[in-house]
Amino acid sequence: MRITGVVQAGGKSTRMGGEPKALMDVGGRRIVERVVAAIAPVVDDVLVVTNTPERYAFLGLPMVGDAFPDHGSLGGIYSGLKAAPGDVAFTVACDMPFLRADVVRLVLERVAEADVVIPRVGDQLETLHAAYAKACLVPMEERLRAGRLRIVGFFDRVRVREIAESDVRALADPAIVFMNVNTPDELARARELERGA
């Protein structure tokens, strides 16, 4: 089974003052570079979903625009899955500086079991650290066309396999590995964590 890593870089970074959060530096590397470095060893290929490809050209990766502009994360997940040459898209956000290949592998080891494989931490499903099979495209598109953008809204139409928090915790602290950098305060926190590592 071919698995494509999909990096979601289509957000507007409004809470970061409009500066692309993926291009912020943590530990001497841009966050998006850290993301790619974490997922590339465990997927077959990587692509980036972005409407500003000039910002990410330095990565040297294939890029696709949003098939449904301004349709939030669900639109980005759909766009990456549709464009993915693989059977499955492992989708991550571009602003997660502490992704780990072993936690990615934990998800990917179960892709044959379901159409969506997704970690759960407490009552939160990590929708931007999850694997989506091509079987998700039709129910996703139906919801996008209806303007119903909640990611988990189509889950009742597909087979979903959750990864338990305890399984993630055996490898890494979920609060760190799934951390997003959306605000200047979160960026400062990420830099502190990196210095303390």
Close Cβ partners of 62 (under 8 Å, ≥ 6 residues apart)? 45, 46, 47, 48, 83
Give the dihedral sign, CA 108/114/119/125.
Answer: positive
Name the E strands within the chain. Answer: 3-8, 25-26, 29-30, 45-49, 63-64, 88-93, 116-121, 124-125, 129-133, 160-163
Among 74, 98, 103, 90, which residue's Cα sits nearest to residue 170? 103
The half-sphere exposure of 150 on its side-chain side, counting CA atoms within 13 A, is 6
Domain of 137 in residue numbering reads as: 3-196
This prediction has a pTM of: 0.94
Residue 123 pLDDT: 94
CA–CA dist 149, 16 (Å, integer): 23
CB atoms within 10 A of CB 82: 15
CA–CA dist 48, 63 (Å, integer): 5
β-partners of residue 63 are 48
Question: How many domains are contained in the chain?
Answer: 1
CB contact at 8 A, 36 and 59: yes
Among 154, 66, 142, which residue's Cα sits nearest to residue 115? 154
CATH number reported for the structural domain that contains residue 15 in this entry: 3.90.550.10
pLDDT tens digits for range 134-180 = 999 999 999 999 999 999 999 999 999 999 999 999 999 999 999 99
pLDDT tens digits for range 97-136 = 999 999 999 999 999 999 999 999 999 999 999 999 999 9
Among 157, 45, 174, which residue's Cα sits nearest to residue 106? 174
pLDDT tens digits for range 56-68 = 999 999 999 999 9
